[in-house]
């Protein structure tokens, strides 16, 4: 007998978090090549474009993406994928990590529970919160953007021969 996969739970990230992380990973794959249109991102990740339009608002407000208008416009990461941690992405999309009200990092939220400060299980929820924050903060977009063997949508890049460039002039270095 199989156990059904839960579709929600007290520690379940919403579709905003799931789709938003996928969007950000796709932008990380395109980092340095200019803006990417939402239509292209939606098609490539098989996500609804109107929903992505809502997500990029939160990501832009969080300082994680920038937008460019015009025919060649679109979205791109505001910083290097190496400098963007998943904690930033999730909190920009979902808000603070709070498994229970008493475990909020915001003192105002903690005070909404009458048992806050005198509850025996409050330290447990704070440890759960801290573990989730630590896990999300330990992963960068660059790590998630790495090719996965066997992934048809994002195959490993082919090896190509490149000519070394002079780092000062950006001109090819003559080869013997």
Contact 35, 74 (CB under 8 A): yes
Contact 60, 67 (CB under 8 A): yes
Domain for residue 86, yes or no?
Answer: yes
Domain for residue 164, yes or no?
Answer: no
DSSP designation for 150: T
Compute φ and ψ for 172, nearest 5 degrees: -60, 140
Domain for residue 90, yes or no?
Answer: yes
Contact 66, 73 (CB under 8 A): no
Give, for all 176 residues of the chain, the pLDDT tens digit: 444 555 545 567 899 999 999 999 999 999 999 999 999 999 988 999 999 999 999 999 999 999 999 888 899 999 999 999 999 999 999 988 888 777 777 777 667 777 767 788 888 988 998 999 999 999 999 999 987 776 665 555 544 445 555 555 656 666 55
Domain for residue 165, yes or no?
Answer: no
Q: 100 forms bridges with which residues in the sheet? A: none
Domains identified in the chain, total number:
1
Domain for residue 6, yes or no?
Answer: no
Q: What is the pTM of this model?
A: 0.76
Domain for residue 166, yes or no?
Answer: no
Measured in Å, how far apart are the chain's first and last C-alpha atoms?
A: 68
Domain for residue 156, yes or no?
Answer: no
Domain for residue 4, yes or no?
Answer: no
CATH number of the domain bearing residue 111: 1.10.10.10
The residue segments making up the domain with residue 114 are 15-145
């Amino acid at each position: 007998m199989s156990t059904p996969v839960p579709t929600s739970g007290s520690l379940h990230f919403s579709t905003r978090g799931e789709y938003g992380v996928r969007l950000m990973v796709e932008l990380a794959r395109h980092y340095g090549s200019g803006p990417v249109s939402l239509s292209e991102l939606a098609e490539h990740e098989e996500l609804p474009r109107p929903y992505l339009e809502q997500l990029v608002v939160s990501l832009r407000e969080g300082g994680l993406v920038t937008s460019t208008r015009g025919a060649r416009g679109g979205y791109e990461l505001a910083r290097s994928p190496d400098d963007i941690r998943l904690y930033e992405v999730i909190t920009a999309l979902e808000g603070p990590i709070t498994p229970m009200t008493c475990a909020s990092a915001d003192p105002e939220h903690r005070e909404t529970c009458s048992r806050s400060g005198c509850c025996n299980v409050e330290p447990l929820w704070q440890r759960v919160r801290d573990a989730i924050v630590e896990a999300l903060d330990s992963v960068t977009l660059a790590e998630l953007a790495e090719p996965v063997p066997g992934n048809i949508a994002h195959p490993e890049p082919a090896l190509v021969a490149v000519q070394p460039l002079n780092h000062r002039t950006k001109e090819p270095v003559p080869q013997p």
